[in-house]
Amino acid sequence: MRGKLAAGVLMTLLSGVLPAADASDAVKAELVRERRRLASDSRTLADVSRRLETALNQLASASRAVSDAAAKNEGPDEIARREDAVSDSEQEVRSLLEKRRLLADRIVERRRSIVALEGELQTRKPFDAVSGRWSVLLDPGSQRGVFRMTLEGTIVSGEYTLDGGYSGSLRGTLVADRLRLERVDSSLGFATVFYGRVARDASSIAGTWEGTTFGAGVSGAGIWKAIREEEPENP
């Protein structure tokens, strides 16, 4: 029950509070912790099971000792002493049985929690850090523009417009938080390579650019920054 409650609380927090990337990381971290707890509980269960087996053997020996004492007509004090040993063994067995039951129940819940967490990771849509519309500033020159990008796996594609009437397509890759984009101008052809790092909250991208506008024979390098814009809602 505690495992179900913990998993339920975790899922509520992840779906309502954390950004998607952080939520996925939190699920993975909790899955690692739950697997470690399961391994620890499994080791403890094995230890308790061994102790229970020993206690059961001791109980059987103590019980036979009472029977032997009675068969040999030993005195009442000796029989009582041996019966006390039986009671002690019974108490140890009961204690270990209860510990074993609690551990087994906890292991069942941990396994259910792990299945739920694994399912959450499998169904969670991968975090998309770059798809959307971005307001861009290129320096030197303070050239402004707009990038529109779409992410499919690690492949980035899109289109752009820049001050001066420049427009064209974008193509590149996103690996972790590292973005590489190639700008292909509609008139000049391959123009620029952008290297950037996406902010943790996916609200901005910053980096450097370099390239050669082959048609005009102009080369250059500099820095750039992009700020995510809110997509306008459809009327």
| pLDDT tens readout for residues 87-143 | 998 999 999 999 999 999 999 999 999 998 888 777 766 678 999 999 999 999 899
Q: Which of 13-17, 53-57, 80-84, 117-121 has the lowest mean pLDDT?
A: 13-17
| pLDDT at residue 208, as a whole number | 96
Residues 193 and 148: their CA atoms lie apart, in Å, by 16
pLDDT band for position 12 (cuts 50, 70, 90): very low
| pLDDT at residue 54, as a whole number | 94
| pLDDT at residue 21, as a whole number | 56
Residues 25 and 11: their CA atoms lie apart, in Å, by 13
Estimate to the nearest angstrom the gap between the alpha carbon of 144 and the chain centroid.
38
In 3-state terms, what secondary structure has residue 103? helix
Residues 101 and 108: their CA atoms lie apart, in Å, by 11
144-191: pLDDT as tens digits: 999 999 999 889 999 999 998 999 999 999 988 999 999 999 988 888
Of residues 155 and 69, more confidently modeled: 155
Instruction: Fill in the DSSP letter of residue 23.
Output: H
47-62: pLDDT as tens digits: 999 999 999 999 899 8
| pLDDT at residue 95, as a whole number | 95
| pLDDT at residue 149, as a whole number | 97
In 3-state terms, what secondary structure has residue 204? strand
Averaged pLDDT for residues 56-78: 88
Estimate to the nearest angstrom the gap between the alpha carbon of 91 and the chain centroid.
43
| pLDDT at residue 15, as a whole number | 46
| pLDDT at residue 215, as a whole number | 46
| pLDDT at residue 22, as a whole number | 62
Residue 216, pLDDT above cutoff 50: no
Residues 49 and 144: their CA atoms lie apart, in Å, by 71
| pLDDT at residue 98, as a whole number | 95
Taking phi first (over 0 means left), then psi (-120 to 50 degrees means alpha), and beta for anything else, what does residue 140 get?
beta
| pLDDT at residue 217, as a whole number | 44
Both structure tokens of 118? 């694994």
Residue 11, pLDDT above cutoff 70: no
SS3 labels along the chain: CHHHHHHHHHHHHHHHCCCHHHHHHHHHHHHHHHHHHHHHHHHHHHHHHHHHHHHHHHHHHHHHHHHHHHHCCCCHHHHHHHHHHHHHHHHHHHHHHHHHHHHHHHHHHHHHHHHHHHHHHHHCCCCCCCCEEEEEEEECCCEEEEEEEEEECCEEEEEEEECCCEEEEEEEEEECCEEEEEEEECCCEEEEEEEEEECCCCCEEEEEEEEEECCCCEEEEEEEEEEEECCCCCC
Residues 138 and 224: their CA atoms lie apart, in Å, by 4
